[in-house]
Structure 1
Amino acid sequence: MKDILIITNYFPPEIGAASNRIFHLAEGLQKRECNVSVITPLPNYPKGEIFNDYKGRFKFSSIENNIKVYRLWLYANNSKSKLLRLFAMISYSLSLICFFCFNKIPKTVIIQSPPLLVAFTSILFLKSKNRKLILNVSDLWPLAGLELGAFKRNSIYRLLQKIEHYNYKKADLILGQSEEILSHIQSIFPKKDTFLYRNYPQIEAPKVLQKHNSDNKIKMVYAGLLGVAQGIYKLCHELDYSRVEFHIYGDGAERSLIKNFIESNTDLPIYYHGELTRNKLHESIIQYDLTIIPLLNRIYGSVPSKIFEYSKLGIPIIYFGGGEGETLIENNKLGWIAKAGDYTDLNNTINKISTAELQKIRASIRKQAFQVFNLEKQLDSLIKTI
């Protein structure tokens, strides 16, 4: 039985795509006769506060689904201050170093990146101990930060690039969540071993709902992070509501702005439903006709995991984010594409969709998703590589 350690910033009971991805990876490896352990911070995402059950602890360990989980202290916050966010990463990095010094580390280690600093700390410390290091790259930092406006092309950006390149160079194998991520890495290190590891969810097959809308209105839903990158607040302003109701689930930096907009525009069919657990959310959003997956700006390397999750629920998708996600939607016939950042094109696309068409394609979307976005087959291939 192979011993594998996973180092990550996100893990259940935290919610979201990142924690789900790492949980399914750990669980899948465990089921394939690996002895898996996980190092992660004390739960704090997305509010930036340590969860009540873990407050007052410096560390906490437990066995969860036959996986040994070590939860370490960090300075939790969700401040917009770059200095405070940096301090949070440094605090977790220091906790990792202490753990490495006083605990036996398995020969194979999977390290989540970003955050770059945590990955750098892990690689720098463990490479000297002759471990096989597998870097799991879910976003291209600092490039993604540059495209989001978080960084400028200055000395700090160049320093982060050096850290990024060091991480790639020292990793024995790199897992990437998109073809664009792997292309970027191989443009820097052409001979680097890579593996495409998509963020496929593990969910039960839902019952496809047959619905009839007498008013011919499309009930569109967004569920997820209400952050700046998703641009839901701007979307509320720009949508043409003549044929669409807009329902919103989630939490994040724009929540208050969105709620205030809804309260100030009671004539518009916009509804905010708060935040739900994953299972409750699936039960709720399957009732809608269409889901939208937006990105305010196209981010190179980013493929939203909602594509895989919502298609498995059988919900038609309108994709409004550009990049590799468009190819996945088009090639697998999962819905419609609107030109990224073009709200006129988005509204025109929505207005051309008939409610009858939305119902007709639900079963075929679900069938295609379960055939193509298969986590078990992906894990079978991965275990042969590591």
Structure 2
Amino acid sequence: MEEILIISNYYPPEKGAAANRIEQLALKLHQNNYTVSVICPLGNYPKGELFPEYKGKFSVTENRDNITVKRLWIYPSVSKNLIVRIISVLSFSLSLSFYLLFKKTPEKVVVQSPPLLLSFISVFVLSLKNKKIILNISDLWPLAAIELKALKKNSFSHKFSLFLERFIYKKATLIIGQSNEIITHVNSFFPDKRCFLYRNFPDHKVESLDLITDLNQPIKIFYAGLLGIAQGVLELCEKIDLNGLNIELHIFGDGAEKTQIEQLISSRKEQKIFFYGMMERNALHEKLKSFDVAIVPLKVRIYGSVPSKIFEYSSLGFPILYFGGGEGEIIVEKNNLGWVAQVENYSDLNEKLKLISNLSKSELHSMKKRIFEDTQETFNLNNQMNYLIEKEVF
């Protein structure tokens, strides 16, 4: 069996889309007769604290579903202090650079980006060793950081990030990107670079629709995922208007805005917003079976970003209320997955909520059935992986 290594900043038992995405890639490569190993930090995300099983350890080697996972030391943090965050990234980058320099690694390596500094160090060392570098780009940094106002344009940090970005694009053997916008962006600098679309399709292994549509309950809209700056869930809770509507909003997740969201919900019980915290993925899916609509928000339109929640929840049969602009908007509309509200326009979002509130539960159930059936073929991870293997991407 051919060997392949994946380098990622996230991997289960860590929660969230990034960890799920890399695990799906690893499992699918294994199912296609690759011997897969993963290098990642000691588990700490999203709280920025080492999980109990990793405390006091410098490195850990595990076997998870036939994937060899090598976890290296990190100084974990989710601090809003930029210096502390940089130290955290540097700590794992240092561990990783020594590992890649002095340990034997497969000839093919998938490098996840962002984080940009981590992917730069990986690509730099691997290029010195003449490895085949498959750069997996999920978001465009530093462009996304500028759009989120997390980085000041033309600052030293911005210019340095641009240097790192160009370097990894240049040195990568080929690139897989999660959106057409990512591929367009890379080709604007390196027109001859081999680039392939790689969507975050899930692999639920659900053969028939098993969602429950409760006729005697309000319409339950849910958000499940990271509660960070990019998602803007706190602002969503502040500006959403459910008064007089047959709708409840249920929030699952963890992240930087968690405490503020909990405080806001506690002070506005009349708004019919409920918070549950983070749940393990399978338990979450079981809990969501009686829910009706998935809301997928972004704080601003982020060029290149396509939230994986679109694929994750439509593939289970949930209609999507999309509130993020960009390519995600096109995907929802093209595939008739639900509703699109103009990004940052809460008046438009509240109008869409009124439309949803007027639907009967039988109409919603018909939508769920159609969306589930359509997405089994449209968002098929096996077909996507087979295509990429045929094209000798891996």
Contact 1:14 1:43 in 2 (8 A): yes
Contact 1:21 1:199 in 2 (8 A): yes
The alpha-carbon deviation at position 212 of structure 1 amounts to 4.7
Q: Which moved more, 1:222-231 or 1:42-51?
A: 222-231
Residue 293 of structure 1 aligns with which residue?
Answer: 296
Residue 10 of structure 1 aligns with which residue?
Answer: 10
Over the aligned positions, Cα root-mean-square deviation in angstroms equals 1.3
Matched, 1:270 2:276: no
Contact 1:286 1:313 in 2 (8 A): no
Q: Which moved more, 1:240-249 or 1:297-306?
A: 240-249
Match of residue 366, structure 1, among 342, 361, 372: 372
Residue 176 of structure 2 aligns with which residue?
Answer: 175
Residue 261 of structure 1 aligns with which residue?
Answer: 264
Residue 98 of structure 1 aligns with which residue?
Answer: 98
Residue 28 of structure 1 aligns with which residue?
Answer: 28
The alpha-carbon deviation at position 204 of structure 1 amounts to 2.7
The alpha-carbon deviation at position 209 of structure 1 amounts to 3.6
Match of residue 250, structure 2, among 247, 250, 264: 247
SS at match of 1:101: helix
The alpha-carbon deviation at position 214 of structure 1 amounts to 4.7
Residue 380 of structure 1 aligns with which residue?
Answer: 386
Cα distance between partner residues in 2 of 1:60 and 1:211: 44
Match of residue 209, structure 2, among 186, 202, 207: 207
Contact 1:177 1:199 in 2 (8 A): yes
Match of 1:16, as an amino acid? G
SS at match of 1:4: strand
Residue 281 of structure 1 aligns with which residue?
Answer: 284
Cα distance between partner residues in 1 of 2:37 and 2:313: 29
Given the two structures, how large is their TM-score scaled by the length of structure 1? 0.97
Match of 2:338, as an amino acid? G
Match of 1:70, as an amino acid? K
Matched, 1:316 2:319: yes
Contact 1:10 1:45 in 2 (8 A): yes
The alpha-carbon deviation at position 101 of structure 1 amounts to 2.9
The alpha-carbon deviation at position 31 of structure 1 amounts to 1.6
Superposed CA deviations along residues 228-266 of structure 1, whole A, max 9, x for unmatched, are: 221112111222212121111111111111111121122
Cα distance between partner residues in 2 of 1:184 and 1:10: 24
The alpha-carbon deviation at position 210 of structure 1 amounts to 5.1
Residue 135 of structure 2 aligns with which residue?
Answer: 135
Residue 43 of structure 1 aligns with which residue?
Answer: 43
Cα distance between partner residues in 1 of 2:20 and 2:73: 21
Q: Which moved more, 1:333-342 or 1:61-70?
A: 61-70
The alpha-carbon deviation at position 268 of structure 1 amounts to 2.1
Contact 1:180 1:324 in 2 (8 A): yes
Residue 79 of structure 2 aligns with which residue?
Answer: 79
Structure 2: runs of 5 or more not aligned: none
SS at match of 2:22: helix
Cα distance between partner residues in 2 of 1:70 and 1:181: 29
Contact 2:75 2:91 in 1 (8 A): yes
Cα distance between partner residues in 2 of 1:103 and 1:85: 27
Contact 1:200 1:375 in 2 (8 A): yes
Superposed CA deviations along residues 276-317 of structure 1, whole A, max 9, x for unmatched, are: 110111111221121211111111111000000100111111
SS at match of 2:4: strand
Matched, 1:335 2:338: yes
Match of 1:376, as an amino acid? N
Residue 326 of structure 1 aligns with which residue?
Answer: 329
Cα distance between partner residues in 1 of 2:338 and 2:289: 15
Q: Which moved more, 1:70-79 or 1:256-265?
A: 256-265
Residue 55 of structure 1 aligns with which residue?
Answer: 55
Structure 1: runs of 5 or more not aligned: none
Match of 2:344, as an amino acid? G
Residue 349 of structure 2 aligns with which residue?
Answer: 346
Cα distance between partner residues in 2 of 1:251 and 1:142: 24
SS at match of 1:39: strand
Match of 1:232, as an amino acid? V
Superposed CA deviations along residues 180-233 of structure 1, whole A, max 9, x for unmatched, are: 111110111111001111111111325344535457x42211111111221112
Contact 2:213 2:291 in 1 (8 A): no
Match of 1:122, as an amino acid? S
Superposed CA deviations along residues 68-104 of structure 1, whole A, max 9, x for unmatched, are: 2111001111101111111111111110121123311
The alpha-carbon deviation at position 273 of structure 1 amounts to 1.7
Residue 235 of structure 1 aligns with which residue?
Answer: 236
Superposed CA deviations along residues 42-65 of structure 1, whole A, max 9, x for unmatched, are: 111001111100111111112222
Q: Which moved more, 1:223-232 or 1:290-299?
A: 223-232
